[in-house]
Structure 1
Amino acid sequence: MPPLTHQSLKCVIKHLEANARIQLSQRCPSLHKTEKLIPLTIYNLELDQCSVKINNTDYSLTLTSNNFSSPFDLDQFGAIDLDEVDVDGNDVLVDNRSFKEEKNRLLRMRIEIRKMPDGVEKQEATAAVVALEQLEDNRWLRREPTSSSMMNLSINSQFIIFRGEKLCYNMKLHQAFRYLVAKLFSGRRCPIQVKKLSVECKGILRVPADLRFKVSHLEILGSGVDKIVEAFKPLIGRIQTITVNDDFNISHPIFQTALILKNPNENLFGAASASNVRVENNEQFSSLSERVVDLIRIWQSHGHKIGTIWNFSMRSQEQALDSIMYLRRQLGASFSGHKNLSQYGRSAAISLNNSDEIYVSFKQQQIKVWNLKVVVRRKRL
């Protein structure tokens, strides 16, 4: 069988799954240059301080010390390293480390574990927290570690380990991670097309500054939202939607795009000036209803521009109906729309000023998901 022509080879590479392309390029140096010239599309890309997940394949770096795997660099006492990091203009770096953040993170992990059902998963999570707390004890007790640390590189997909290597711990995790990201993504002629990019940083996230992504949806998990936004904005171009679940600065230009809030807390009110927002909530319904009322009161006090649209996901039709009634009782809204068998109205109008009103309605979005829509509009005669 004759070998493929150059054009045929480019066509084959273009239609390979992203991980297959990258691994083929690494194993066949003769294809490396050709593969880098062909546009790459990734449906789901996840980045944190020591792992990259491309679609369903995870590339992870960890440290092993005293039979415990750590996603953080360790200092001479075996505790989480909080030394200052120097970085030049060739890198983008997000540093979310602090004594306070470490304490808060351990507390959040303890709270989440208490909510878990008894079983192996809860036992493993508890053991991980105990080990992290031991690292903190090492710092204050100035206790030298009893064994040396090793760096591990693993590549796996849906619990199938393709590759695992033990490496000498002769560079920081963030330096090794930067090298890994460069090998996967740098040197490409075209920006990488990414449908959804998720970024989380509990420690140090370091990537090359020459990365170029074209991202449709950006998701920022955990804390340090503003730091991540500021660092990654030059790399990702113009986005269509952004999801956050922690505090952020609404004045940043990136939040003028469609904003999605997950499990909102006080940041619901921090986003009160935004004009295109979706709220996805897994908490008790009554809590969300109260927050919607508080949000509308902010608009009544300070005003809001015509065309503002906020959407709130509800778990059932009954919850959406109850929400309308709750809003009417709290805000004195007028009834609007037809009635169903429960005799509840499907919409309500709330006066904002002499000429404008807030119109609240709901409809089924998909199976078991109802959408409560809040719109600022001109008053209807």
Structure 2
Amino acid sequence: MNTLPLQYQSLKAVLLYMDPNVRFKISHRLPSISSTEKVVPLRIEELDLGDLTTTVNQTTYKLGIYREYKEGEKITFRTQRYNDFGGFPRDFDRFGFEIFPGHNVLNPGDVSLPCPYNLVSQEERDTVQIERMYKTRLTFYEDVLESRLGSEKIEIPNGEDDDAIMKRYYLSLPIKELERHIGEIQEDLQPFECRRFNLKPPFVCYIMLTINSKSHKQVSRIPYNMKLHEAMKALNGFLFGGRRQSIQVQKLQFAINETILRLPIGFKIKLEQLKGLNNLAMRNGAILSMLDKKSFPLKSVSFFASDETDFQFLDVGKTTSLTAMDVNLEIDIFSILKTLSNQRAYLNFYHSDLRILQYLGLVQSWIENERPIGTCYSFGIVEENTARQILKVVRANVERAKRSKRCVSIPIRSSARLEMYYIPMESLNDSEQEEFMWFYDWVLKMRVVRF
């Protein structure tokens, strides 16, 4: 049977509607169509970017260091776990010490996403003090194991000081677990011995790429001739580099901890939704640098609100819908809500409902400032009685307010009214329920509708 290859225009049309991960695979296996694949706009439903992981839709590309031990050498449970689940997430030097080469270096295209937490520096891992600490731990574990093996009746210390509590805990562990701790401490000490006697570690390192999807796992290993951040740069360059148009992404999210995204030069996203952002105030500029100007207004932004400055992201008004999760109780959230211009907002709070009179103040603010029709704010409520009390207070303190069982209605101008009502969480559609991180039973809504 004769077959004809797809013509250029037909190939472009097919690629446009193809799953992006299939496109990556085809482009890798058939370099002849790679240039065409780069021309066709790339469409992604969900993109998650981290320091050593990139997730496109439900397929994750993960880099790590695989350690292959020489014949006869015993591999610890800890190292085996790293090998089985994507490799070790940091580089090694020639003696086996963990190192962080280029961790703070920004190359062209890279984007730094700061946060309040820093990685432990290399200097804290290969010092004489650290070696002494490991040796002290090793002696302790070996003494505990000797006690377990050498006596049928073990004397358990009953003091409440730290040493007694620790010894009690380790004496209660199974012997195999004690042996595992000893093996791991011996592994931690190994690089010090290798450096002291100029020896090679008992393993060979490879860069491992793990591609994980719902139905398939693929593992590849290449020689360790570049550092992890360089390999990540190459990986993201293959996936996203050389594209003529901004990548179209529905949902984008990032790693929680501090990281540098190793991205190709010219990386731009035409985005709809930013999801689950942390440290938003610190990352404002970095995130904006990746977004195509045509993204605005964003359909939605959701973030963990730890500080009032988090609400200044994108002037917040450049997003249609705003979701603030785990709102810090020290934030004057209702003062912020009075000035927000977003059409929709979802608020869930850390272990608490807000004061009833604050809801009344927000109602009064909406009446005075005539919020546009279609504005709707939603609040997670733990107890139904709280929602009832809110409606009761609003009804008693706002003129012309009329109350039914779960609703207060207030005319605010000739063509519109403000409704405040509450409903069970389970009655929300799936996309709205997704906006509430905690297990609220009720949702209180404020909205402006036409008469």
TM-score (norm 1): 0.68
Equivalent of residue 38 in structure 1, options 27, 30, 40? 40
Shift of 1:30: 0.5
Aligned to 1:278: 345
Contact 1:314–1:372 (8 Å) recurs in 2: yes
Q: 1:49 to 1:224 in 2, by over 3 A?
A: farther
Matches within 5 A, 1:263-302: 263-266=326-329, 269=332, 271-272=336-337, 273-276=339-342, 277-279=344-346, 281=348, 287-288=352-353, 290=354, 293-294=357-358
1:91 aligns with 2:150: no
Aligned counterparts of 1:362 and 1:158: Cα–Cα separation in 2: 40
User: SS of the counterpart of 2:316?
Assistant: helix
1:173 aligns with 2:232: no
Matches within 5 A, 1:212-361: 212-221=268-277, 223-237=278-292, 238=296, 239-247=298-306, 248-256=309-317, 257=319, 258-266=321-329, 269=332, 271-272=336-337, 273-276=339-342, 277-279=344-346, 281=348, 287-288=352-353, 290=354, 293-294=357-358, 305-307=369-371, 309=375, 311-312=377-378, 314=380, 319=384, 322-326=386-390, 328-329=392-393, 333-334=397-398, 336-340=401-405, 345-347=406-408, 361=420
Aligned counterparts of 2:99 and 2:408: Cα–Cα separation in 1: 53
Structure with greater Cα Rg: 2
More strand per residue: 1 or 2?
Answer: 1
Aligned to 2:53: 51
Q: 1:297 to 1:373 in 2, by over 3 A?
A: same
User: SS of the counterpart of 2:327?
Assistant: coil
Unaligned runs of 5+ in 2: 68-78, 122-176, 195-200, 429-441
Alignment-mate amino acid for residue 13 of structure 2:
C
Aligned counterparts of 2:266 and 2:105: Cα–Cα separation in 1: 18
Unaligned runs of 5+ in 1: 103-126, 352-357
User: SS of the counterpart of 1:151?
Assistant: strand
Aligned counterparts of 2:244 and 2:214: Cα–Cα separation in 1: 31
Instruction: Provide Cα deviations, 1:15-41, integer angstroms capped at 9, x if missing partner.
Output: 211111121111100100111111121
Report the count of equivalent residues: 327
Aligned to 2:133: none
Contact 1:57–1:156 (8 Å) recurs in 2: yes
Aligned counterparts of 1:367 and 1:261: Cα–Cα separation in 2: 20
Aligned to 2:239: 184
User: SS of the counterpart of 2:401?
Assistant: strand
More moved, 83-92 vs 176-185: 83-92
User: SS of the counterpart of 1:263?
Assistant: strand
Alignment-mate amino acid for residue 234 of structure 2:
Y
Q: 1:150 to 1:346 in 2, by over 3 A?
A: same
Q: 1:337 to 1:299 in 2, by over 3 A?
A: closer
Shift of 1:157: 0.8
How big is the alpha-carbon RMSD for the aligned residues of Structure 1 and Structure 2?
A: 4.4
Aligned counterparts of 2:389 and 2:193: Cα–Cα separation in 1: 62
Contact 1:293–1:327 (8 Å) recurs in 2: no
Aligned counterparts of 2:48 and 2:332: Cα–Cα separation in 1: 28
Matches within 5 A, 1:103-252: 150-158=206-214, 160-161=216-217, 163-206=218-261, 207-221=263-277, 223-237=278-292, 238=296, 239-247=298-306, 248-252=309-313
User: SS of the counterpart of 1:261?
Assistant: strand
Aligned counterparts of 1:9 and 1:233: Cα–Cα separation in 2: 33
Aligned counterparts of 2:356 and 2:99: Cα–Cα separation in 1: 41
Aligned to 1:73: 90
